[in-house]
A and B are shown apart, each in its own frame.
Chain A
Amino acid sequence: MSLTRGERVFMALNVLFFLILMAVMIYPFWYMIMGSISDSSLTADGGLFLLPAGFSISAYKVVFQNVSILSGFKVTIVTTALGTFIGTFCSAAMAYPLSKKRLVGSKFLSLLVLFTMLFSGGMIPSYLLVKQLHLIDTYWAMVLPATMSAWNIFVMIGFFRGIPDEVEEAAKIDGGNDLMVFFRIVLPLSKPVLSTVGLFIAVGYWNDFFSSVLYATDKNMWQLQMVLKDLISNTSAAITQAGISIGVQQEVNPFTVKMASIIVSSLPILVVYPFLQKHFVKGAMIGSIKG
């Protein structure tokens, strides 16, 4: 059926709408990139719309010489790696037995997991617990409280239920026990769900700053996002911080440094995003209606 005139007009307007929307969504990132490579003396008075004002990479020099940003990177990389590994592994190891109806007590244990979605102790009791465990200012304080989420476990249970029993039975007939079945058969078959859940956990850790607010009194234990938060509200202090030569200091201003640090810390996600987008979308769809 050929298109009516009204439909053609609608489609043209629709494409136009999305072009504008995309521009609006991209603009802040574009603005920050341009801001970060601008010459500091020219950025004042908002002299920056589409193209950089002058050109200078001194802001990036300041960022990479900034001791707190480097230590923030270290803390965040360590917590993200640890948290993603522990979180993904423990969720899978827990979901697999719970996916077996024959397991005595699986119903009770599932309810135990489900209840954590309904009720939580809240901020203060969690804080007091971490404090009493003497985890303040350790990596574990930023990793352990957030590793397990009921949602991830239920997504995995759903996936494991979909693996045909015959596959596991064949392995058992060959003399494997449940541990071997899990590690050699089930985990390799579960790469889609492991990567989806793992990605969500990883983004959570990468973007986390509140664990530092609560559990880090030592600035050297701050996560990247926390360093950034501090920097955004207090840029000039970061510039004068030890380790940055006076010469470089004169070439930059708080604005360009702020932009450069934002770019540097969001770069990892922006770089991997196009490759991982389909996993993210899959994850959002699995989780959005039923856990």
Chain B
Amino acid sequence: MEQQVERLVTQLERRPAAAIRKALIRDKYLYLLLLPGLLLILLFRYVPMYGVVISFQDYNMYKGIGGSEWVGLYQFERLFRSPDFTEVLTNTIVISLYKLAASFSLPIILSLLLNELKSIVFKRFAQSIIYLPHFISWVIFSGIIITFLNPVDGMVNVIIRHFGGAPIDFLGDVRYFRSVIVLSDVYKEVGWGTIIYLAAIAGVNADLYEAARIDGANKLRQMWHVTLPAIRPVIIILVILSLANILEAGFQQIFLLYNALVYDVADIIDTYVYRVGIQGADYSYATAAGLFKSAVAMVLILTVNKIVKLTGQDGLW
């Protein structure tokens, strides 16, 4: 096999066309295997990428991309002039940053504590339970949230009333909505977030703890001086990764929980694209908003990968 490859490589250098043809024939079955997946990717990933050209058009469903009128950057001008879009962009970034702060710190703390559980059986059991909400769909989970926060007979408000407070409409009040979004996201995902940190902690040399103990370090100091520095590379990568996703504020969650009362603080780019594009049928304008998001996301991911590599760690690719 090795020799074959070497022979092929030398052939490729000498007689490219013939060698390539030979390689194509030799690996014909491999190409056959590739085909169905490749077709699905080309059709459902690349055709929509081509479809973003309608953001430079005044797209008309009946005329199609070929027949619609080109309008240059008109849709983007509309977008950046629109006060709605400024608000939506702010909401997206603010909600994202709140979530980032929570999802950065809490899983680390939780995995440090999980790691200190001595009984393996109890540890496994605790993990199973705190991972569980991750697998429940947002539809079901939002149903739970709506039930618990209901201003009339939701459990939270029943308790508030019991202690003499006035009931609060958490999902219909701009003051509380974002907190509900961030807290419910933490509740659902914090356990799942510990998995990768636990794997990293498991790789820490146990002798280091022993040495720290002999030096008189208590649990807290051991965590601070041994565990945290050991898992720092993982922390850095995960934070940078979430920075790259700053325009993903959690579409499903917000779509299921928000309502017209709280659009001011809850509407994010994706929900805006859905309402303007699908419901309002303003396809070109909504595509421009979507394209803005995709483009920013791509630039962020490429930059982040570069930075990670510059810090001497393995990049994402």
Contact = CB atoms under 8 A, between A and B. Distances in A.
Interface in B119-159: 122, 125-126, 128-133, 135-140, 142-144, 146-148, 153-155, 158
B44 A124 contact: no
B117 A46 contact: no
Interface in B239-271: 252, 255-256, 270
B196 interface: yes
Interface string B7-40: 0100000000000100110010111111011101
B73 interface: no
Contacts, number: 257
A28 B156 CA distance: 12
A6 B287 contact: no
Interface stretch (A51-59, A63-71, A204-212, A240-248): A204-212
Interface residues of B, number: 98
A291 B147 CA distance: 38
A261 to B, nearest CB: 9
Which of B8, B31, B33, B155 has the most chain A CB atoms inside 10 A of its CB? Answer: B33
Interface stretch (B50-58, B85-93, B174-182): B50-58
A178 B117 contact: no
B137 A206 contact: yes
B126 to A, nearest CB: 5
B37 A91 contact: yes
Contact of B117 (A14, A126, A153, A203): A14
Nearest to A265: B140
Contacts of B192: 284
Nearest to A209: B139
A104 B24 contact: yes
Closest 9 CB pairs of A and B: A121-B48, A125-B51, A122-B290, A94-B37, A207-B137, A46-B158, A178-B29, A97-B30, A90-B37
Given A94-B38, A122-B290, 17 more contacts: A7-B218, A25-B133, A93-B33, A97-B33, A102-B23, A102-B27, A114-B317, A116-B45, A121-B45, A121-B52, A128-B61, A128-B283, A144-B44, A148-B37, A179-B33, A225-B140, A262-B144
